[in-house]
Chains A and B, each alone.
Chain A
Amino acid sequence: SQTIHQWPATLVQPVGSPLSLECTVEGTSNPNLYWYRQAAGRGLQLLFYSVGIGQISSEVPQNLSASRPQDRQFILSSKKLLLSDSGFYLCAFSTSGMNTGELFFGEGSRLTVL
């Protein structure tokens, strides 16, 4: 069956420190991968999506970056965190063969920047 794993679940980081959130998918090949951010009490903001290895589309200019080093691995990074980077980060995938775009989400990573 298809599963998605995201870690770490919780992270507290000082301003200016680096960030790395990782997401892996199992049970499917060539998934479309997504990073969303959810601020407290807010909706989901699309950050990045990828339709293949090395192919990253950025939706919001910011100090975050994403990489897809392997087919089923998606990484969200920052070299220097800002206070405004705090939030709940969600990784998701869709099956490339399905044209409906239904997303399967990980359990999220809660980032607090102090």
Chain B
Amino acid sequence: SQQGEEDPQALSIQEGENATMNCSYKTSINNLQWYRQNSGRGLVHLILIRSNEREKHSGRLRVTLDTSKKSSSLLITASRAADTASYFCATGGGGGTALIFGKGTTLSVSS
């Protein structure tokens, strides 16, 4: 089944720095999504990028997609302590099928 694998597993940075997380997947996709999970909470959708898009922005988030390499990256600029969370990429979904998630990147932003 399609599955995203995030890299790195854990990332620690200082406030104000940029955080980059990568995701690789195995099969062709219609879109790729990124989600955020605060500790002990449900996941929240951040951004969706379609297979015919190469880059997408939302506030301090920038997502890129390279379908030839089957990879995506999530960049969070000017990180804040409140960005501390786990971030997951997900593929599949739509048409009644289910999203498959990777294992996530745990981001820790210290002040």
Chain A contact residues, majority secondary structure: strand
Among listed A14-22, A41-49, A64-72, A79-87, interface-contacting one: A41-49
Interface size on A, residues (CB 8 A): 29
Residue B100 at the A interface, CB < 8 A? yes
Interface size on B, residues (CB 8 A): 26
What chain A residues lie within 8 Å of B93 (beta carbons)?
94, 100-103
1/0 per position for A71-114, CB-CB distance to B under 8 A?
00000000000000000101010101011111111111010000
Contact residues of B with A, CB < 8 Å? 30-31, 33, 35, 40-45, 48, 88, 90, 92-104
12 sample A-B contacts, Cβ–Cβ < 8 Å, listed by A number: A43-B102, A46-B100, A51-B96, A99-B95, A100-B93, A100-B94, A101-B33, A101-B97, A102-B33, A102-B48, A103-B93, A104-B45
